[in-house]
Amino acid sequence: MKGKKIILGISGGIAAYKSAALARELVRRGADVRVVMTPMARQFITPLTMATLTKNPIAVDFFDPENGQWNSHVSLGLWADALVIAPATANTLAKMACGIADNLLLTTYLSARCPVFAAPSMDLDMYAHPAAQQNIATLVGRGVRMIEPESGELASGLVGKGRMAEPETIADALHDFWACRDSKLRGRTVMITAGPTYEKIDPVRFIGNYSSGKMGFAIAEELAARGAAVKLIAGPVKLRARHANIQTISVESAEMMYNACVETFPMCDGAVMSAAVADFRPETAAGSKIKRVGNTLSLNLVPTRDIASQMGRMKRDDQFLVGFALETDNEQANAQHKLESKNLDFVVLNSLNDAGAGFMTDTNKITIINRNGETTEYSLKSKAEVAADIADQIELLS
């Protein structure tokens, strides 16, 4: 969203208080945000709040009464890469559908040539009313992208569908729109492994690792945002995928992950192996809880199957395969070895020696090594940004 010019249109509904959080989120993601408010919206949130958050003046009236300056809805409409109306009240949606032009937000809408998004917000019965639904259908038919309201407690105290989508959801919808538009991943199917695996010792204990799954889930969200259908094979994690394009297949052990991958990979255009798969598992899992007897306990461990290597053997010419290498020493040489031995197209190296990289953090610092021997080093970034860098490299493969 970096550098995108967004008009945030606010109409007069109680959800206008959430527009402040939305403006902040859009600015945080690098957008240049200009706010247009209806006169009624001013009753719910002040122009000063919005101006402070966006660092831009706010337009409410056709003229500035102080100096007579003209707020040109036409130039605003031409300036923007997107117009987002949030909240979009029943009244504003109805006026948009009819082409009524009695405030600056509506004239801006009518003269905008950019994509338009609307996040409806109203009471459940208003939202369900055939008039409101027909207006929404008319606008959708004209290309307005509706960001569905959520169900929950409404300002009236009633419970139902009509609550404006959360600011993060609205910002994600915009992100997805731009990410998907030019992506080669649109319509492709990608398998991703994520998280740790648990190898059973007895009914109450396992061998696991500190992987949170955050990196794999971030890659899944990014590829889904670019229009790919994602099959996310996840070990035990506390995360939930948000995007509708992601199908999560939950597994526990390396063996279960192996079986899911062998079944899923043939129907995919490629795979990203980001799971921290256990390399060893207890030879046998005890059927009942192991008791505390004696001073030592020996577990006989046997190797698990290397899933990435198996995918490398199964890989067809029309498929890509990306792997990770988490290293503590001899990083480059070890990563290079994994690239070749697992038949990967590129390997994403993270070194546990870099602060902020690896398990459980929200950040990562990666180096990508490809089959042509090219090495790209990236700076420390959020896992969402790292996922975008990895997705960019995948797009170069296809």
Q: Using CB under 6 A as the criterion, which residues of the chain lie in contact with ligand CTP when the complex forms?
A: 193, 254, 273-275, 277, 279, 304, 306-308, 323-326, 338
Distance of CA 3 to the CA centre of its chain: 19
The rounded distance, in Å, linking the Cα atoms of 175 and 166 is: 14
Q: How far is the CB of 305 from ligand CTP (least distance, A)?
A: 6
* Closest CB to ligand CTP among residues 151, 330: 330
Give the bridge partners for 35, in sequence order. Answer: 8
Active-site choice (56, 67, 209, 334)? 209
Nearer to ligand CTP, 230 or 308 (CB): 308
State in angstroms the smallest separation of the CB of 310 from ligand CTP.
Answer: 8
Cβ proximity to ligand CTP: between 177 and 359 the closer is 359
Q: How far is the CB of 381 from ligand CTP (least distance, A)?
A: 19
For the CA atoms of 45, 51, 54, 59, the dihedral, rounded to the nearest 10 degrees, stands at 90
**Smallest Cα–Cα separation from 349: which of 378, 326, 371?**
326
Query: 79 or 359: whose CB is closer to ligand CTP?
Result: 359
Smallest gap from residue 1 Cβ to ligand CTP (A):
29
Terminal Cα distance for the chain, rounded? 23
b or e along 141-176 (b: 16 or more beta carbons within 10 Å of the residue's beta carbon)? eeebbbbebeeeebeeeeebbbbbbbbeebbbbbbb
CB of 221 to ligand CTP, least distance (A): 18
Phi, psi of 258 (to 5 degrees): -60, -50
- Could you confirm whether 330 is annotated as catalytic? no
What is d(CA 33, CA 4) in angstroms, rounded to the nearest whole number?
8
Residues with a catalytic annotation lie at 209
